[in-house]
Amino acid sequence: MMTSWINFLLFLVLQLCFLSTATTNEHDDHPLPTVYVINALPKSSKAMNVSCSSNNIDIGEQSLVNGEVYKWRVSQRKLHYCVAIWERFFASWHAFQPRRDGNHETLFWMVEEDGFFISWDKAKWVRKYRWETE
């Protein structure tokens, strides 16, 4: 009976060691990315207001005119979302999703009249979200 308990305890200790090692390696192999939100709206348009957050962490709000960039570093492997308001349009989107973006060092969002485009290399862009109106 005592041998069974010892084996069970050893099994638990090994499992805990394995889990802590796996968690550590996951974070060491892939540093948290930097997110860039780029205003590519028409030059003559009003500024776009962008506010981003994650859980209870407010990353901040910025007003961007054409060509300006809102940049921040992801602080935790959790969903980060943003809200944008531009003239009579509004949108909300997942700026960082751990499964989608966790293996990248940088994440770019190009905001244009016809939507929000994602890229990890600034070469290939894919539209993920569109503007909404009232």
The answer, yes or no, to whether residue 63 has pLDDT greater than 50, is yes
Q: Is the predicted pLDDT of residue 53 greater than 90, yes or no?
A: yes
How far is it, in rounded angstroms, from Cα 133 to Cα 90?
6
Query: Could you tell me which of 76, 80, 82 has the C-alpha nearest to residue 52?
Result: 82
CA-based angle 80:51:42, to the nearest 5? 115
pLDDT confidence of residue 102 = 86
- pTM score: 0.77
DSSP assignment of 44-99? TSPPEEEEEEETTEEEEEEEE-TT-EEEEE--SSS-EEEEEEETTEEEEEEEE-HH
